[in-house]
Amino acid sequence: MVTESVQRPERNSPSRGAIRDIAVRLSTAQTRGELGLILAREIQCYTIFDLQIIGGRLNNEIDKLPSPYRESIRPCFREQIFGRHHQLLTMHHAKAFDEMNDPIRDPETFRTFCEMLPEGCFAWGDSGERNPYFRNPKYRVFYYLIATFTMFVLDKPGHPVGMPFPGGFSVEQRGKDYYCLIRDKEKEVFYSICNFCPARQTEET
């Protein structure tokens, strides 16, 4: 059973209302390209200083993990966060989103994700090893923006292919489909991106 707690926002953290406004803006997108453009505008609000803080907190969380799992998962977390951040801005600068006119995958799941986002930014209590949560709403928003790009613009799993999980399992790609053993195991954690991921549940053996 996951126990939720609510943390008092740090100084300069956005309010629930401000985060709700971001979620509303995201929810207005009808196509992958429209969503990409909205995400690019939102993500550009983060400064180099913000990215340094995010990187520092991410490394701090990874350093708490046991070896050798720590070493194997570090590049995956960095790709999940900073690799996608770079890709989002690169596509924006190349005007790639102007050509993406196909509709967002699974509009109902996307709508539910947008509804979850404001409350998810203020819910803590995750003690797992899969999600580099930052205990500040501003940085949690960043995490969700990157996940939105990955799952609803790129149509890829929130955690990158090859990302290892305890027990020797990992996110897999088989042809055009993606599979993850823990895809359906986060249902009690309403703010987990796993609940909105396009990956399919891997059958346990």
Q: What is the mean pLDDT of each run of 10 residues along the chain (205 residues)?
A: 39 84 98 98 96 92 91 94 98 98 97 96 61 72 97 96 86 94 84 93 73
pLDDT reported for residue 188: 84
Rounded to whole angstroms, how far apart are CA atoms 23 and 16?
10
pLDDT reported for residue 184: 82
**Statement: the pTM of the whole predicted model exceeds 0.75:** yes
Contacts of 119 (CB under 8 A, 6+ apart): 16, 190, 191
- Other beta carbons within 10 angstroms of residue 67's beta carbon come to 7
Rounded to whole angstroms, how far apart are CA atoms 118 and 191?
10
Structural tokens at position 195: 């609940």
Rounded to whole angstroms, how far apart are CA atoms 53 and 94?
27
> Peptide bond before 137: cis, by omega within 30 degrees of 0?
no
The backbone region for 12, taken as left when phi is positive above 0, alpha when psi lies in -120 to 50, beta otherwise, is left
Rounded to whole angstroms, how far apart are CA atoms 189 and 124?
10
Tokens 């008092």 — which residue?
8
| 177 membership: H or E segment, kind and range | strand 177-180
- Other beta carbons within 10 angstroms of residue 52's beta carbon come to 10
